[in-house]
Structure 1
Amino acid sequence: MNMDEKDTNLETTQMPPAGQPPEALEVVMIDDDEEERQRWQNKSGITLRPPRRVVSTPIIEEVDENGETHYCYGEAATEDFPAEICYEGERRELKNEEYEQILAAFKQAQAKEDGYKPLRPLEENTTLPRFPMENLPIALFEYCKNLSEAMEMSADLAGTAMLGTLAALLQGRYGISPEPGWEEPLCLFVLGVARPGEGKSHLMKAVTNPLFKHQTKLFSDYADKAIEIEVRLDMARSAYEAMRRECSSLKGGPREIKLVEMEDKLREIKALEKSAPPRLVANDVTAQKLAGLLQENKGRISIISAEGAVFSNIAGLYDSQPNFTNYLQAYSGETIIVDRVGRPGEYINDPRLTMNLMVQPDVLDQVVKNRTLLERGLPARFLFSLPESKLGRRKIEGAPKLDPEIKKRYEDLLEELIALAEEDTYEILTLSEDAADLFTGFRKAADERNNGDLANLKEWTSKLPGQVLRLAGLMHVATYREEAGKMPVDYFVMKEACELAWSYYIDHARHAHQIMGSDKNMKRAVALLKALDQQDWKAFTAYEVARSLKNQSFKKGADAEVFLNILVDYGYLKIEREQSGKRVFYKYIVNPRWIAQSKDRLA
């Protein structure tokens, strides 16, 4: 029984036999009734009882001086009972945190068994999967686990930021190609979302510290070089002026020779004037400044921030219209050409841009509300992480400490990757035969889901195979380091990358697109659920919904899919693939648990 990755061992409870799948567990949720609890306690399976508080108020009988009896309430007594877990007659009390972890594991097992997600009220937040940090290379996994526990923050934010940091380091050093004619750069756009006070800035600093230390060293080294450049520039300008004066008195062949010398000297001056400290990282930049930074730094730059101010620039804070073409092109490695009036423009071939961001929920809300950003596909390029907040549930005292050995192993890895990135070469990673087969299967499955449960995320899902390739390339280099270019990406690394997408990033992307800034979507999902119940349907297609439920204003099946898939996320429906001849279609099946409790169903 896999409870969770975080030490939730049942010390006094006899566990199921090794290897027994979670689907085989009989999970019984019970109420506060003592008789009901005892009835299940000696049965097979697991009984989980939530924590509860019992308030009892005694009734006191009093007789007054006239002999009349009066009743009044005495002082209320409050008694708290902890959560409990029972298995094969054994019983153990649980801390609240243990109860929540085990409950989540039970719900996941239940969802695997019948195909439905846990049934939840639509007004509540959906339960999103935790970040599978065990899929990361070992040095990243150890630090992700230790850092998130020490800071009492979600491992989701740390793991996603680590992937963004790998991309910032390696985007200019490697690419990946699954087949001839298809190459993906190793840059990423990642976005973690956390409430104010969570500690985003401290976490981002802990994850990216080796990168910023290297940037500081580059600035320091350039400071000494800058004096030399200034002296050489002054001398070059003086020499050019002397040549110009001399050339004015020359004619014929000598004049032509001197003009060639002046051209060379002017090229030297222009090169010295353009000299700037090497930049690996930017923060708050406009689209125009981004093009300049890319040109000055061999077409490579990363935006790393725990504030998300870059979205204000993208959305048009400094311009009347949003201007983010450069961001889209740099993500894809497309050539950027910027023409300017009265001064030279920029031409950046094969650019690379990584965005590694942590923002507050209202920033994401502004992004998904901006129709221009949505229509141009900027959110479709992001890997989203929307973990549950731990504010109000932190231990403060007694939390695990950061292990210096684990931290050193992580920082040693990043320093090794920095040294690799400094090499003046570019390598294309390829896939082993079994990794290529696995990736092909992933592409087919993702394409099928484009017409199923991911129909309302088609643009994001269409980029998912490329995202998986990028993740696989980054994790391959982090695993094999300086040997990475000498071997193809293997099956196991590709499997880890695919599982990151399947088990985590798909659900978080769907959640980001569905409910952030979309209260209207939730209201329509509630109305649609009520309409489905009144129809007493148990299985149907999106087309049947659009055709039959005229009051829902769906012009076609695709219009209904957005709201049907919200109901899938909340456990009311599941999607099944059916085939009739060559025609493949998808049916929505109503959860029997909902049918049993719905008040809107026909009697």
Structure 2
Amino acid sequence: MPAHLTAVPDTPDDEPGLVWDQPVPLGSQRVLPPFPVDVLPDWLAAQVDAVAVATQTPPDLAGCVALSVVSTAVGGRAIARIRTGWDEPVNIYTVVALPPASRKTPVFRAMTTPLTLAERDLAEKMRPVIEQARLERKAAEALQERAERTATSAEADERESALADALDAALTVHGKEIPPEPRLIADDITPEETASMLAQHGGRLAVLSAEGNIFDILAGRYSGSPNLNVFLKGHGGDMLLVDRKGRPAERVDNPALTLGVTVQPAIIDELAETRKFRGTGLLARFLYSMPENTVGDRIADPPPVPEEVAGAYHERVRGLVMGMHEWTDPAVFAFSPEANDELIDLHNAIEPKLHPRRGEWAHIGDWAGKQVGQTARLAALLHAVRHHDEPWAQPVDGTTAKAARVLSEYFTEHALMVFERLGADPAIGGANTILNWIRDHQITSFTKRDVHRALARRFNSAADLNPCLAVLEEHGHIACIEPPHSGRGRPRSPIYWTHPRYRA
């Protein structure tokens, strides 16, 4: 939002005739795109749209929860095979930032109810198996107890045989594990409990919460120290060792954790306070959404979700959960050559932006460096929705990969906003430093040399100022004027005039 020049100054020191607009706060100029509901398969798009209307909330919320629901159904039971040598898990982490009283809970309830019902169905299905295992273990423990009594009281010539019997009985008990009641989702849960539940449930779990304090828990505000290991490995599928009190450590070879949470925007701003979040790569694993709040524009009596829309959604999510639950070795969602080409094209478009010196996304390289993999995961989830009966029976096609790329572009724009708010963009950070200098000293005009002399400790060279000054000019805080040149000697340096609000 640069100022408009209406008159050229008579001398270089005269203030030009500038018409100033209201300056834009730094970092807030980005216009965020709405959630692309139209790229979702029909039955899922219909549910997202209907829930957004019924609750008078932005579709971004229902859309992100919908993706987390599908991740819960498929994660840990399938892998995306993009090409030979490249497999991706299909679980995702999403976080939506909305202020209090934004009706987050009704949206979560509408979108996650099929998971709750499927979890109940799985528990009912497993109940006879669990009871049989419990009875078998109880019988084995009784035999073990008798064998141990016999061994301890056996005569010397019978002791060796009795000890062997007791050992066999103990090993039999050890092998009679009672399977836990199936669980798909958890809410307010610590990292230690998350690791334990992943071990109990075959490496598969979702943490879905409308009012979650997940970042407080991760930061160690209740335990005293951050514990991020399970959430780092649970996203990438890296082998996890779980220590359980009184029992041997358990190994989870391919953990698949899903996170779908909402937080208040202020929590996003606080993420920079815990350096481990960024330094360990945790923040790079999230798909971010910062939708525009609908409060103030909501209608009092919106139409409810149509029964046929909710019915189709419930039936298909439940069917996807039940169909994928039987897979112990993960199902393979193979990518077609066209889908692979789409990801190659995305890689080629992103790679120059990640260059550490000249890349426009260098400041979010940790996040953007995962974008191609995240897009592959999104494509696998969309594929599971499109082919909910048997998603493993046909490859992920190019159309689905294109749709995933649209979703990826949406999440990229929102991630850029998040990382700007976290101060990750050095141009924004430098612009704030210069703006504070202008405010503190009530600067009317300055040259690049002036600001470099004043802030030499902050900027190593005058060239470092260029992107920061450009940001200030784009946001309407300063205006750059080239002084007239007489044609003799070197031209004078440009003069930067500050917005009148900063002057004495």
Same fold (TM over 0.5): yes
Is 1:167 aligned to residue 71 of structure 2? yes
Is 1:141 aligned to residue 45 of structure 2? yes
Which moved further from structure 2: 255-264 or 166-175?
Answer: 255-264
> Compared with structure 1, are the counterparts of its residues 147 and 296 closer, same or farther at alpha carbon in structure 2 (3 Å cutoff)?
same
Is 1:153 aligned to residue 57 of structure 2? yes
Q: Which residue of 1 aligns with 2:458?
A: 553
Q: Which residue of 1 aligns with 2:341?
A: 437
Distance 2:62 2:230 in 1: 28
2:408 to 501, 504, 527: 501
The SS at the match of 2:387 is: helix
The answer on whether the counterparts of 2:363 and 2:426 sit within 8 Å (CA) in structure 1 is no
Q: Which residue of 1 aligns with 2:199?
A: 295
Give the drift of 1:496. 0.7
Q: Which residue of 1 aligns with 2:396?
A: 489
In structure 2, give the amino acid aligned to 1:439. L
Is 1:411 aligned to residue 314 of structure 2? yes
Which moved further from structure 2: 272-281 or 343-352?
Answer: 272-281
In structure 2, give the amino acid aligned to 1:402. V
Distance 1:197 1:566 in 2: 34
> Compared with structure 1, are the counterparts of its residues 369 and 300 closer, same or farther at alpha carbon in structure 2 (3 Å cutoff)?
same
- Please list, as runs of the form range in 1=range in 2, the aligned pairs for 1:341-420 lying within 5 A after superposition: 343-397=247-301, 399-420=302-323
> Compared with structure 1, are the counterparts of its residues 237 and 259 closer, same or farther at alpha carbon in structure 2 (3 Å cutoff)?
same
The SS at the match of 1:142 is: helix
- Structure 1 runs not aligned, ≥5 long: 1-118, 538-543, 574-594
- Please list, as runs of the form range in 1=range in 2, the aligned pairs for 1:566-585 lying within 5 A after superposition: none
Q: Which residue of 2 aligns with 1:99?
A: none
**Residues 556-592 of structure 1: per-residue CA shift (max 9 Å, x gap):** 899879968977996999xxxxxxxxxxxxxxxxxxx
Which moved further from structure 2: 181-190 or 310-319?
Answer: 310-319
The answer on whether the counterparts of 2:78 and 2:333 sit within 8 Å (CA) in structure 1 is yes
1:468 to 375, 380, 383: 375
> Compared with structure 1, are the counterparts of its residues 178 and 144 closer, same or farther at alpha carbon in structure 2 (3 Å cutoff)?
same
Q: Which residue of 1 aligns with 2:15?
A: none
Which moved further from structure 2: 380-389 or 173-182?
Answer: 173-182
The answer on whether the counterparts of 1:187 and 1:470 sit within 8 Å (CA) in structure 2 is yes
The answer on whether the counterparts of 2:134 and 2:178 sit within 8 Å (CA) in structure 1 is no
**Residues 29-54 of structure 1: per-residue CA shift (max 9 Å, x gap):** xxxxxxxxxxxxxxxxxxxxxxxxxx
Q: Which residue of 2 aligns with 1:455?
A: 362
Q: Which residue of 2 aligns with 1:58?
A: none
> Compared with structure 1, are the counterparts of its residues 569 and 535 closer, same or farther at alpha carbon in structure 2 (3 Å cutoff)?
closer
In structure 2, give the amino acid aligned to 1:363. I
The answer on whether the counterparts of 1:545 and 1:560 sit within 8 Å (CA) in structure 2 is no
Give the drift of 1:252. 9.1
Distance 1:364 1:321 in 2: 20
Which moved further from structure 2: 285-294 or 271-280?
Answer: 271-280
**Residues 288-319 of structure 1: per-residue CA shift (max 9 Å, x gap):** 22221111111111111112223222111343
Distance 2:315 2:204 in 1: 23
Percent pairwise identity? 27
Distance 1:485 1:558 in 2: 54
> Compared with structure 1, are the counterparts of its residues 558 and 145 closer, same or farther at alpha carbon in structure 2 (3 Å cutoff)?
farther
Distance 1:222 1:558 in 2: 67
> Compared with structure 1, are the counterparts of its residues 232 and 361 closer, same or farther at alpha carbon in structure 2 (3 Å cutoff)?
same
Q: Which residue of 1 aligns with 2:482?
A: none
Give the drift of 1:257. 5.6
Q: Which residue of 2 aligns with 1:204?
A: 108
Distance 2:350 2:48 in 1: 28
**Residues 477-525 of structure 1: per-residue CA shift (max 9 Å, x gap):** 11122343232211111111111112x1111111112215899996753
**Residues 541-560 of structure 1: per-residue CA shift (max 9 Å, x gap):** xxx99989955813489987
The SS at the match of 1:311 is: helix
**Residues 322-353 of structure 1: per-residue CA shift (max 9 Å, x gap):** 01111101110110124568642221111111
Distance 1:569 1:209 in 2: 46
Give the drift of 1:440. 0.5
Q: Which residue of 2 aligns with 1:189?
A: 93
**Residues 4-53 of structure 1: per-residue CA shift (max 9 Å, x gap):** xxxxxxxxxxxxxxxxxxxxxxxxxxxxxxxxxxxxxxxxxxxxxxxxxx
- Please list, as runs of the form range in 1=range in 2, the aligned pairs for 1:174-323 lying within 5 A after superposition: 174-220=78-124, 228-248=132-152, 258-272=162-176, 275-323=179-227
Give the drift of 1:167. 0.7
The answer on whether the counterparts of 1:147 and 1:402 sit within 8 Å (CA) in structure 2 is yes
The SS at the match of 2:169 is: helix
Q: Which residue of 1 aligns with 2:418?
A: 512
In structure 1, give the amino acid aligned to 2:276. T
Distance 1:561 1:500 in 2: 33
The SS at the match of 1:481 is: coil
Give the drift of 1:218. 3.4
Distance 1:125 1:168 in 2: 35
The SS at the match of 1:301 is: strand
The answer on whether the counterparts of 2:284 and 2:370 sit within 8 Å (CA) in structure 1 is yes
Distance 2:401 2:462 in 1: 35
Distance 2:337 2:140 in 1: 57
- Structure 2 runs not aligned, ≥5 long: 1-21, 439-443, 479-495
| Aligned length in residues | 455
Distance 1:171 1:306 in 2: 20
Which moved further from structure 2: 270-279 or 129-138?
Answer: 270-279
- Please list, as runs of the form range in 1=range in 2, the aligned pairs for 1:6-155 lying within 5 A after superposition: 121-122=24-25, 126-155=30-59
In structure 2, give the amino acid aligned to 1:553. R
Q: CA RMSD in A?
A: 3.9
Give the drift of 1:357. 0.8
Distance 2:316 2:423 in 1: 39
Greater relative CO, 1 or 2 (CA 8 Å, sep 6+): 2
Distance 2:335 2:132 in 1: 46
Q: Which residue of 2 aligns with 1:325?
A: 229
The answer on whether the counterparts of 1:456 and 1:562 sit within 8 Å (CA) in structure 2 is no
> Compared with structure 1, are the counterparts of its residues 430 and 545 closer, same or farther at alpha carbon in structure 2 (3 Å cutoff)?
farther
In structure 1, give the amino acid aligned to 2:414. H
The SS at the match of 1:355 is: strand
Distance 1:513 1:180 in 2: 34
The answer on whether the counterparts of 1:368 and 1:379 sit within 8 Å (CA) in structure 2 is no
Q: Which residue of 1 aligns with 2:492?
A: none
In structure 2, give the amino acid aligned to 1:431. F
Q: Which residue of 1 aligns with 2:384?
A: 477
The SS at the match of 1:345 is: strand
Distance 1:207 1:371 in 2: 33
The SS at the match of 1:198 is: coil
In structure 2, give the amino acid aligned to 1:166. V
Distance 2:174 2:422 in 1: 49
Give the drift of 1:222. 5.3
Give the drift of 1:376. 1.0
Q: Which residue of 2 aligns with 1:97?
A: none
> Compared with structure 1, are the counterparts of its residues 253 and 414 closer, same or farther at alpha carbon in structure 2 (3 Å cutoff)?
farther
